[in-house]
Structure 1
């Protein structure tokens, strides 16, 4: 499926480091040198989602990623009230832990898109400094987000039970619906995704994590206003066939964002970074190079 080699999950895990965030153990990864590039993963998986892009991006930038609270190899406290704002706090705490304070580039996916939207809002409020942000498939606008049945049930009173009954076979059924028909996840990818979710009883907190859908509604006006007002360069790279946040989400983005920079991957679904990583890489690097050339021209370099 991929023309990039990627990193096996065991190798990926062996490269992780740890730090404490509000008393919770967080696993994170960093590699490369240069301008900092923060990668923010989606629901319900983890930072391994970026494994195809990791080495190529680390060859040009200082890449940073963590498994957010409740995900992957990080802590998954059972009674915790999870929120997107706290996950943005976590990203800022990780940057502080690494001593990164300058302009930050962001590449985000799915749930991570919402965290990135909060970071854009904080940039507008002078609470951090962003240099660019690229979104992969995600619910940037609640009115265009079309959750799958499992997500709806996790939000319902049946959520705790559904989480406990979640399994690899149910994961496969759900991912098959949202990946492109020509780019389904392989058995080995499904095994890895399931390991990341199942680690440390992860299914038992899925009904708590899913409240991000409600967080998006509460924060919609602030986040969309920040995206409309910001001078931070933005791009959307989107798998068009994604039933959750595919071409219909991009159409809404083009309605709401002035001079929209969007790329549609016509045959790809919800996980472009694993379905078509070489294409995502090419479009991401073109975005960065174009803005760097414009900045250089403005500076007469």
Structure 2
């Protein structure tokens, strides 16, 4: 599935975060027990292009673009931290009438899931963390640099896209990464507004938002499904999560950071087994 097809399948709604009414685009397909997918930086819900449609045969699958990303609000003037994204998820799910969900988070989305599971334990029945930010594992230097005003002001849209393309092509595990995935991820940042939004997203990465929570307080049954060759979020953090979360299992896959794209079939197999257990 390419980016345009994915975008056509999205619904839109408005959520309220810190008093701001923000448009959120989200994929919502299937019926049954709800499963929520949350992406990270600098991706979008398109990260779940393999897993979400497959799971929609048996579950109600909801995959939003976080605010500041994809087809959600990108204008300047609101917080994009994982604290704010947690509030977005909370308001979105309340608006959809969902009291309890299984939550699957990658990268920053994993940090959102951790906070949500700790703060609202009754709202998360099962938790999947994939190459997730946690403890003090983040932000990485590349993201810090993107948030610097001088960096983004001195970078054109074309230069930004080429830089991001290079990051994806250089870190996807496959020797020949899927071009539609790379172009879909890069294409969302194809305007001046989007360029500024990415910078604001980057500067909103705040280590305090995971160091302030007690990871041992997660009550949900948890699968730590990790790309074991990750150069951004090393597997040592996954091992720490497995040790600290009372009901957690670690599964390492032969993949880099973008594990749902690197190993789509294996990822889906482990995800389906965990959700059905």
Q: Do the aligned partners of 2:222 and 2:247 also contact (CA within 8 Å) in 1?
A: no
TM-score scaled to structure 2, two decimals? Answer: 0.89
The 5 A counterparts of 1:15-34 are 15-22=9-16, 23-34=21-32
Q: Counting strand residues as a fraction of each chain, which structure ranks higher?
A: 2
The alpha-carbon deviation at position 219 of structure 1 amounts to 2.7
2:218 equivalent in structure 1: 230
Equivalence for 1:3: none
1:272 equivalent among 256, 259, 263: 259
Q: Mean alpha-carbon deviation: is it higher for 153-162 or for 130-139? A: 153-162
- Computed over aligned residues only, the root mean square deviation of the Cα atoms, in angstroms, reads 2.1
Q: Work out which of the residue numbers 113, 116, 120 in structure 1 matches 2:117.
A: 120
Shift in CA distance, 183/41, structure 1 to aligned 2, threshold 3 Å: farther
Whether the 8 Å contact between 1:238 and 1:246 is mirrored in structure 2 is: no
Please tell me whether the aligned partners of residues 131 and 233 of structure 1 are also in contact (alpha carbons under 8 angstroms): yes
5 Å-filtered alignment, 1:38-53, equals 38-53=36-51
Residues 207-222 of structure 1 mapped to structure 2, 5 A cutoff:
207-214=199-206, 217-222=207-212
Q: Which residue of 1 aligns with 2:168?
A: 175
For the pair shown, the structure with the greater C-alpha radius of gyration is: 1
Q: C-alpha distance in 1, partners of 2:110/2:55?
A: 19
Deviations 1:112-134 (A, max 9, x none): 0111111112224xxx5211110
Q: Secondary structure at the residue paired with 1:158?
A: helix
Shift of 1:235: 1.0
Q: Does 1:202 align with 2:194?
A: yes
Aligned counterparts of 2:247 and 2:96: Cα–Cα separation in 1: 34
The alpha-carbon distance between structure 1 residues 204 and 118, as it changes in their structure 2 partners (threshold 3 A), is same
Q: Which residue in 1 is equivalent to 2:105? A: 108
Structure 2 residue ranges without an equivalent (≥5): none
Contact 2:31–2:60 (8 Å) recurs in 1: yes
Q: Is the 8 A contact 1:43 1:111 kept in 2?
A: yes
